[in-house]
Amino acid sequence: MKPVNRHLLIALPMKETEEEARAFLLPENYKKKEVERHTLVKIIDISDDCEKFHQYHINKTCVVETSMISEINAQGCTYSVIAENYVVLVEG
């Protein structure tokens, strides 16, 4: 699949597998691990109409806003995309 409309196809870091749910009591002050605001990702492909990114950026690492990553399931595969304006840092 090829990204369009100023989007980047990205590879997310491998997720740590969470331990299977168990029934036990947690302390009252326990806080679940919150999702990080930013995520380090690898650029796999770039839409032809991107203004800030070009073929040069493919395989570069960048930092994006985690909440803006879209995961799309199509044809048995999961694709992660993000609009180019949600990239906040790019590998030099």
pLDDT in tens, 7-55: 999 999 877 555 555 667 778 777 777 788 999 999 999 999 999 999 9
User: Average pLDDT in the 83-92 region?
Assistant: 95
CA-angle at 24, arms to 35 and 26, nearest 5°:
55
CA 50/CA 39 separation, integer angstroms: 21
Whole-structure pTM value = 0.80
C-beta of residue 79 within 8 angstroms of C-beta of residue 71: yes
